[in-house]
């Protein structure tokens, strides 16, 4: 088989994030979650839906699972429904 065919069949890739990067992101996410928990202990998330939205967006981004605009909208609506 010509070398070109092997290149089409097999490709080598590396992870975007190393284990140490993962650990650092996890620790940063944990600190971010604690900071938002503290903030929302003093300021009601109900008073600022945009702050609540940003908190969710950042937390899920740090968790490696960024939310789409639609997912953020649905979660916000569900949180608003829960208050009623």
For the residues of the chain, what is the DSSP string, one character each?
--HHHHHHH------SS-HHHHHHHHHHHHHHHHHHHHHHHHS-GGG-HHHHHHHHHHHHHHTT-PPPHHHHHHHHHHHHHHH-
Average pLDDT over residues 14-18: 70
The band of 1, judged by pLDDT with boundaries at 50, 70 and 90, is low
Residue 16: predicted pLDDT: 72
Percent of the chain topping pLDDT 90: 26
pLDDT score, position 47:
82
- Whether the full predicted model's pTM is greater than 0.85, yes or no, is no
């Amino acid at each position: 088989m010509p070398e070109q065919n092997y290149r089409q069949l097999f490709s080598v890739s590396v992870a975007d994030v190393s284990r140490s990067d993962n650990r650092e992101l996890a620790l940063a996410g944990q600190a971010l979650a604690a900071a938002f928990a503290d903030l929302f202990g003093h300021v009601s998330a109900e008073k600022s839906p945009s702050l609540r939205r940003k908190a969710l967006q950042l937390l899920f981004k740090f968790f490696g699972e960024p939310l789409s605009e639609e997912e953020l909208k649905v979660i916000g609506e569900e949180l608003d429904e829960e208050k009623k």
